[in-house]
Amino acid sequence: MSWPHGQKAALSLTFDNLAPPVITEAISPLAELLDELDLSATFFTEGFVMEEHAEPLARLEEQGHEVAYHAWEHETWHALTEHEEEKNLERGRAEGGNAGLPLFGFRPPGGRMLPSTPKHLEAHGYRYVSPAGEGAGRVGDLPALPFRWADIDAYCVLPQMQGLRERNDDPADGLSAEELEARLAARIDEVVERGGYMTLLFHPALTGWFGLDRLERTLELVKRDDLWVAPCREIAGHEDASGIPLGLDDMGWEQA
């Protein structure tokens, strides 16, 4: 496997859920940190945020980041009907156009897709999906760049994630910020050692729990010559992203 500059592995840095007060208070300092570290990220936003706060989202794109879609109001995706799903994707795409945002990608809230999701994403011009799982690959003809539940901040602290934690043999009452920091450091080393792809996923609303200093230390770990760090749309467009074994997770946060 060969990434653009001969790196051993690839990683996308992503942030979910930009509803106020995140878009009005947390995005600017986060963008400043990314600029200091010379890192580009993908921000998955709800559709109504595009409608009400198009300017700061467009500014993220101007700064070299990617804005992608995370459902209109963070609806639990696999609980929708197929008709609701299609209308949601259509509405997001239309609002992205109104806001000047290309919206290449989609991440389903709850982590799980419907069987119809890939075809509707393709029909409405989305170019990749980021569900729960591991590895990378394709769902039908659509590139898939999964995130792993056990690697995200919300998994560590939210009560509704207890079922996922128990399934993974993690403490039922959650993990500390220190434990997540150590886990992510080990995971970054692991993905580079074996080759492949990893998604880093943070929620800006939980930065107070994880700590901005801890976030900065974690992001500094990805700045290495043997790791290609790029927004999801760039990695999804690379031919080798489809050659990594893909495993999707059939359990979501609502099943806790």
For residue range 112-163, list pLDDT tens digits in order: 999 999 999 999 999 999 999 999 999 999 999 999 999 999 999 999 999 9
Over residues 27-39, the pLDDT tens digits come to 999 999 999 999 9
Query: Residue 63 domain-assigned?
Result: yes
Q: Cα–chain-centroid distance for residue 240?
A: 19
Domain that holds residue 222: 9-242
Domain assignment present for residue 4? The answer is no
44 by DSSP, 3-state: which?
A: strand
C-alpha count within 13 angstroms, C-beta hemisphere, residue 215: 26
Q: Which residue has the tokens 């590895």?
A: 135
Identify the three-state secondary structure at position 9: strand
Total structural domains within the chain: 1
CATH number of domain containing 217? 3.20.20.370
Q: Judge whether 255 lies within some domain.
A: no
Q: pLDDT tier at 3 (50, 70, 90 boundaries)?
A: confident
Would 250 be classed as within a structural domain? Answer: no
Give the global pTM: 0.96
Is residue 57 situated within a structural domain?
yes
What is the average pLDDT value for the chain, to the nearest integer? 94
**Residue 117 domain-assigned (yes or no):** yes
205 touches 24 (CB < 8 A): no
Q: How confident is the model at residue 256 (pLDDT cuts 50, 70, 90)?
A: very low
Q: Is 94 within the bounds of a domain?
A: yes
Q: Is residue 90 part of a domain?
A: yes
- Tell me the C-alpha distance between 57 and 80, whole Å: 26
